[in-house]
Amino acid sequence: MYLPLTKYRWAVLYFVFLSTTACWIATDQSSERQEVWSEAKKVKSQEDLLEIMQRGTLRVLTQSSTNSYFLYRGEAMGFEYELLAEFADKLGVELEMHVAQDINGVFDSLQSGAVDLVAANLTVTEARTQAMAFTNPILYSKQVLVQRKPSNTDTENKLLKSPLELAGKNVYVHRNSSFYTRLQNLSDEIGGTINIVEAPGKLDPETLIRMVAEGHIEYTVADEHVARLNQGYYPQIDIGMAISFPQKIAWACRTESPVLLQTLNNWLHQSSHHLVAILYNKYFKSAKIQKERVASDYSSLSGGMICEYDDVIRKYSYLIGWDWRLIAAQMAQESRFRPDARSWAGAFGLMQLMPQTAAQFGVDTTSSVDDHIRAAVHYLMWLDTYWQNEIPDDDERIKFVLASYNAGLGHVIDARNLTEGNGGDSSKWDNHVDYYLRNKSSSKFQNSEWVKYGYCRCEEPVEYVEKILDRYNHYTKLIS
């Protein structure tokens, strides 16, 4: 009999969460931490994490930056992104990234409940702790003045060496940033007015650094680790003058989310000795490598391209009516954008067409990249046409088309028949057809009367669909 998995998934995940949390606590000898957890279990608002696990997604608001989240050669990257992905994986939920379009309003989405967490290189301040809950510090960083080094021929403009020299200067920062508050306090401390200019929210902190480097504005303020990273791209900037003591950098959640906060802190406590250090070295110590990533045409922070075949994908995507970024996400999954890619089974090219399929659409290994992409799109169109009468919903049908592309049409037909035969909805992919495709090779189903196309280890096509749609989600967030 068919079991509606959506009804049970959250319970299984929550059990895993409770077991995992118990292990975290057991390894921590602090009686205070155990008391905090005991009290949290009594609070009705402990359902904050249960809701996330029922939903199956952790929704995080971040910014598109070298520190937080960006795209490089078709893959999502970022110090905070990789930490978040690991945490979501531990919870057994999907990570849903949201990019702030206005830096000044990052906390509005949190307070409204649109997201569960804000991870955007946030400085912990007293005022902010009155309105939201912060995790234990992920990093510590000073605030530094970012200014342009004078050229050898420029004798009039000199580097500022002391905060006292900021009196009367125009410094561009965001209104709701910790930099703004610090400059206000510093203005009082030096007994002179610093002209704090409110930067538009659409200009992120790294854009302001670039504007200083290019001479569009004179000064901005940044966290030292971010400024030092950007100095690798813009050697003409100076970041030597600190305007604060080291401050805590952390993530923020609602005060009504005590269990999420406790779980994050437990996880950070366990991970801080290895994962944070590894990622810090990856993103902040390897300046040369990071510079190559960000300066590349295939970075969402500079060139804005996914791969060198973007224009060809765009040219043919209209045939099937798909977003070109979806086909790019499939290409990344198939070949990592390598036209010479070959599989053990004989599939070749950017879209890994099998020789028999390729021949049906008029291409072979000697055909051009343009022809390979065209043939792959025509094959996708053929599959889409087959499924149109069976799966009327466009978004659902994409999943069936992708799975058929990977596993073959017959195995997906078998999975639909198994779904219908066991009382499921054969027009739904998630928790319905994907379940039976994944389990088609099990002894319970492989000899079923509804299986006509033989044995298949079909975990791969299910994961294939998931990975493509996940990558496509990143593309839509970071590439226009």
User: 141, 224 in Cβ contact below 8 A?
Assistant: yes
More confident residue, 39 or 369: 369
Instruction: Indicate the residue type of 86.
Output: E
CA–CA gap between residue 4 and residue 160 (Å, rounded): 66
Residue labelled with tokens 């025509």: 378
User: 122, 176 in Cβ contact below 8 A?
Assistant: no
Chain centroid to Cα 133, Å, comes to 22
* Parts of the chain belonging to CATH 3.40.190.10: 5-136+249-295, 143-244
Q: What is the pLDDT of residue 93?
A: 96
Structure tokens that stand for 168 in this block? 């009367």
CA–CA gap between residue 146 and residue 226 (Å, rounded): 11
Smallest CA-to-CA distance from 59 within 47, 51, 70, 71 is with: 51
CA–CA gap between residue 382 and residue 364 (Å, rounded): 18
CA–CA gap between residue 262 and residue 251 (Å, rounded): 12
Question: What's the whole-model pTM score?
Answer: 0.84
- 6-36 pLDDT, tens digit per residue, is 433 444 444 444 444 544 444 444 454 455 4
CA–CA gap between residue 257 and residue 260 (Å, rounded): 5
- 236-287 pLDDT, tens digit per residue, is 999 999 999 999 999 999 999 999 999 999 999 887 668 988 999 888 887 6
Average pLDDT over residues 400-416: 96
CA–CA gap between residue 425 and residue 464 (Å, rounded): 21
Catalytic positions are 334
* Parts of the chain belonging to CATH 1.10.530.10: 310-478
- 350-385 pLDDT, tens digit per residue, is 999 999 999 999 999 999 999 999 999 999 999 999
The reply to whether CATH 3.40.190.10 applies to domain 5-136+249-295 is yes
Chain centroid to Cα 36, Å, comes to 31
* φ/ψ (deg, to 5) at 305: -100, 150
Other CB atoms closer than 10 Å to residue 224's CB: what's the count?
Answer: 18
Q: Which CATH number applies to 143-244?
A: 3.40.190.10
CATH class, domain 310-478, is mainly alpha
For residue 2, pLDDT beyond 80: no
Q: What is the pLDDT of residue 46?
A: 55
